[in-house]
Amino acid sequence: MKNEINIGLLGFGVVGSGVAKILQNHQDDLRHKLGVPVVIKKVLVKDLHKKRETILSSEIFTNDLNEVLGDPSIDLIVEVIGGTSEAKKAIESSLRAGKGVVTANKDVMAVSGLELLKLADENKCDLFYEASVGGGIPLIRTLEDGLASDRISALTGIVNGTTNFILTKMKHDKMTYEDALAEATALGFAEADPSADVDGIDAARKMVILASLSFSTEVLLEDVFVRGMKEIKEGDLELAEQFGYTVKLAGSAKKDEEGIEVAVEPVLFPNSHPLASVNNEFNAVYIYGDAVGETMFYGPGAGSLPTATSVTGDIVAACRNLLLGVNGKRLHAPQYARKVKSDSKKFARYFHRIRVKDEVGVLTKLTSIYSDYDASLATVIQHPDKKEAGADLIFITHKISRQQHLDIVKKLNETPEVIGVLSHYRVEGEE
């Protein structure tokens, strides 16, 4: 029986320093839980001379990965470097050196998750990645253990805190997108280059991780239909509000006999939907299980200590396994072959905002287009506020396929009476 667990911490940024803080502050509790102390033995950083506020001794800092991996007393590697190639290599080297890994790296796990989990299995090591999705919310563990006996059929979630913060500020404080983004950046919620967040790429990576685990199948990033924040046009938020909806950049994943579908896009949620009131930098994921029905998990989607809580939760799990000698005993091979639905098999309601020339007969012309594509309409409204350059027509369809929706939008844009389809959204949660 080991009398302590030694950790090699790769990276000492926002998350890494949070991990060190939690391990320090909750030392007694962790020791009570595990029976032995958990000690940070080495910390890998780029710049050894950078000034850091930490109680860790400067002697344990190194800029040489081999010094960490080569230390036989180190049992577990915690990868919080971020980025892709360097982090992936570090994870691979750790696993090959027989050391378990805890990572917060969604970029690596989304693209190389199955490959790395296989490598972990081969090397009889644990590879835990709770912090890669949903910050402090224990989502991965819930899907793996809590709902282990259920069959997940769908999940919908707000998994990017930056864009949710921006949308909340735009809706509640009537900020412009630019001002809201600037505030998110100032508060540390947005990166210097926010494109991965606002273009939906970050959320898409997280949905790949969640969908792959929920459906026990391989999911590629290219399988995700992605539309980002720029698809939200001026006036859309107010317009949605008038119809009783809230716009969220949401991820969704579904599985049925036809295969899986995964998307990240701006979605209209009815205001009564619990995800409509998830605000600011918070994340929440709705999970639908065949037996359990609907469940929701809500919490801080980012931030130093929340994310570090997930990392240290994984550290506790990995330590338990190490102490029991059962590390690396869970096999991760997916149960089902990858099968992705075509757009003609994905069904939803759609909201179309169409700017038209103010001419006689335009409404009849447009409704006939919907008929031509076999799409029935739930709502048709001529929006009264915008009359200068033309009028805005709002159409909300009954359930149609994404293919029908895309065909209709294309056809509308080619119609002479139409100035343009200003915006279009999937509508969540109602018939």
Residues marked as catalytic: 206
**247, 232 in Cβ contact below 8 A?**
yes
**13 annotated to a ligand binding site:** yes
Between 250 and 354, CB nearer to a second copy = 250
Which residue in 135, 101, 127 sits closest to 206, CA to CA? 135
Is residue 308 at the binding interface for a second copy, with CB under 8 A as the rule? yes
Stretch that binds a second copy, among 30-38, 67-75, 191-199, 234-242 (CB under 8 A): 30-38
Selected binder of a second copy within 192, 291, 337, 360 (CB under 8 A):
291
CA 273 to chain CA centroid, Å, is 19
Stretch that binds a second copy, among 85-93, 245-253, 287-295, 386-394 (CB under 8 A): 287-295
Q: Which of residues 124-163 bind a second copy (CB under 8 A)?
A: 130, 136-138, 141-142, 145-151
Is residue 26 at the binding interface for a second copy, with CB under 8 A as the rule? yes
Which residue in 370, 375, 423 sits closest to 399, CA to CA? 375
**23 annotated to a ligand binding site:** no
| Distance from C-alpha of 374 to C-alpha of 60, rounded to nearest angstrom | 67
| Nearest approach, Cβ of residue 324 and a second copy (Å) | 5
Stretch that binds a second copy, among 102-110, 255-263, 310-318, 413-421 (CB under 8 A): 310-318
60 to 30, 41, 54, 69: CA distances (angstroms): 22, 6, 12, 13
Stretch that binds a second copy, among 23-31, 96-104, 245-253, 417-425 (CB under 8 A): 23-31
Between 326 and 381, CB nearer to a second copy = 326
Pseudo-torsion of CA 102, 104, 109, 111, nearest 10°? -150
Q: Degrees (nearest 5) of the Cα angle 27, 33, 39?
A: 40
DSSP string, 3-63: S-EEEEEE--SHHHHHHHHHHHHTHHHHHHHHSS-EEEEEEE-S-TTS----SS-GGGEES
Is residue 293 at the binding interface for a second copy, with CB under 8 A as the rule? yes
| Nearest approach, Cβ of residue 343 and a second copy (Å) | 28
123 to 1, 94, 252, 368: CA distances (angstroms): 21, 10, 33, 62
Between 315 and 375, CB nearer to a second copy = 315
**423 annotated to a ligand binding site:** no
Between 11 and 18, CB nearer to a second copy = 18
Between 277 and 376, CB nearer to a second copy = 277
**136 annotated to a ligand binding site:** no
DSSP string, 140-190: HHIIIIITTTS-EEEEEEE--HHHHHHHHHHHHS---HHHHHHHHHHTTSS
| Nearest approach, Cβ of residue 31 and a second copy (Å) | 10
Total of residues contacting a second copy (CB under 8 A): 58
CA 257 to chain CA centroid, Å, is 25
Is residue 119 at the binding interface for a second copy, with CB under 8 A as the rule? no
| Distance from C-alpha of 181 to C-alpha of 170, rounded to nearest angstrom | 10
**361 annotated to a ligand binding site:** no
| Distance from C-alpha of 240 to C-alpha of 412, rounded to nearest angstrom | 21
| Nearest approach, Cβ of residue 303 and a second copy (Å) | 8
Which residue in 146, 113, 115 sits closest to 132, CA to CA? 113
**242, 402 in Cβ contact below 8 A?**
no
Q: Which of residues 165-224 bind a second copy (CB under 8 A)?
A: 216
Backbone φ and ψ of 247, nearest 5°: -85, 125
Is residue 289 at the binding interface for a second copy, with CB under 8 A as the rule? yes
* Binding-site positions: 10-17, 106, 191
Give the binding site for a second copy (CB under 8 A): 18, 22-23, 25-26, 28-30, 32-33, 35, 130, 136-138, 141-142, 145-151, 216, 274, 277, 284, 289-300, 303, 305-306, 308-310, 312-313, 315-317, 320, 324, 326, 329-331, 335
Q: Would you list which residues are annotated within the binding site for L-homoserine?
A: 191
